[in-house]
Amino acid sequence: MICDGRGTPLKVITTAANVNDVTQTLALVDGVPPVAGRPGRPRRRPEALLGDKGYDCNAHRDELRRRRILPVISRKGSPNIKGMGKLRYVVEQTVALLHHFKRLAVRWERRTDLHDAFVSLACSLICWRRLKKARS
């Protein structure tokens, strides 16, 4: 899953059970839809991508830089980037919100298309609740 700085889910990809998350990094970045906000053209890509040590891969770092995205990823074997825990919490909070939907806490569907539909519905409800809360 990739989300913005406030924890709004932007793109979710379902993979097999034992697939490393780093393999889907570029697919998630490419799948981010245009995000409108300020006047003008909607943004197509983020300014920076935050990730923990599990996403440490020089090939992906180079590819992100080529796409003009700043990779903020801790390197394996070095100390963590200061303050990364607070930023990582945003993603963990969004994953926890998805697990509040009982059907997503444990995957019961054998068909991936059904599971993806439930994940899309859950992400839509999370976005709708945040918009509703922001207006009131």
- The average pLDDT across 111-133 equals 90
pTM: 0.77
- Tell me which architecture the domain covering 2-135 has in CATH: 2-Layer Sandwich (3.30)
Digit-coded pLDDT (tens) for 75-106: 887 776 776 777 778 888 888 998 898 888 88
> Which range among 35-39, 49-53, 79-83, 123-127 shows the weakest confidence by mean pLDDT?
79-83
Domains of the chain, residue spans: 2-135
HSE-up (13 A, CA, CB side) for residue 88: 14
What's the mean pLDDT when you consider all of the chain? 85
Q: Would you say 25 and 2 are in contact if contact means Cβ atoms under 8 Å apart? A: no
